[in-house]
Structure 1
Amino acid sequence: MAVEDSAKAAAIVAVVVVVVVVVVVVVVVVIVVVVEVVVVELAVVVVVVVMVVVEVVIVVVVVVVVVVVELVVVVVVVVVVVVVLVVVVVIVVVIVVIAVVTIVCSSLKPLINIAKNIFIEKKKKSYNHPF
């Protein structure tokens, strides 16, 4: 009986060891599969988040560049318009000054001739007098 008891005990120990090994293997496999799935899902989430951030950065950069270029173009156009207006105003002022000087000179010409005649008459009279 002692041999039978030890054979039974050995068989029970062998079955328990096999069951424990199978349970440990199953648990390890389940943990590895779960960790792998979680890691893969996290990696996918990280990749998606990075892609979204990169797209947002690209959109922001493009918008900023477009806005800056538009502002520069507007400033250049405004400066050109102001310069053209200043040139036009200067040309108009020069034309008005020339016209005014011409009108004043032409209206003063008879007065200058009268004054010249008076001066010449006085000079002629002064030659006739001793003083």
Structure 2
Amino acid sequence: MVLLRPVVVVVVAVVVVVVVVVVIVVVGVIVFVVVVAVVVVAAVVVVAVVVVVAASVVVAVVVSCDGVFAKLLQGPAKQHVAVLLFVFWLLLALLFFVVVLFML
């Protein structure tokens, strides 16, 4: 009986240490995942803002260079310009979809 008590104390101490270590590791992993998610969402938002600003600049340039743009649309490059604009707006819509997806 005298040897049983120190063994019980050691077993309880080991169990407590293991439980504390597991809780610390689990909490650390959860905090890491949350921080990474926040950083990813922030990066996506920054990229979306940059793309919106770039799109605004492109629209402003197109509006200010209306004569040049009209000449491009009248020339043989009309289809290429239309395809480029379509791809640009498609990528912009896809980026906003990704931003909304990450926000959820």
**With structure 2 as the length reference, what TM-score do the two structures score?**
0.64
Q: 1:115: Cα distance to partner?
A: 4.3
Q: Secondary structure at the match of 1:60?
A: helix
Report the equivalent of 1:126.
none
Cα deviation, residue 109, structure 1: 1.4
Any residues of structure 2 matched to 1:32-51 within 5 Å, and which?
Answer: 47-51=1-5
List alignment gaps of at least 5 residues for structure 2.
Answer: 75-104
From the superposition, tell whether residues 118 and 102 of structure 1 become closer, same or farther in structure 2 (CA, over 3 Å): closer
How many residue pairs match? The answer is 74
Root-mean-square deviation (CA, aligned residues, Å) is: 2.1
TM-score normalized with structure 1 length? 0.51
Unaligned runs of 5+ in 1: 1-46, 121-131
- Give the CA deviation at 1:116: 3.0
How far off its partner does 1:110 sit? 2.3
1:79 to 2:30 alignment:
no
Whose RCO is larger (CA < 8 A, sep 6+)?
Answer: 2
Which residue of 2 is the match for residue 69 of structure 1? Answer: 23
Identity among equivalent positions (%) equals: 43
Return closer, same or farther for 1:59/1:113 CA change in 2, 3 Å cut-off: same
Higher percent of residues as helix: 1
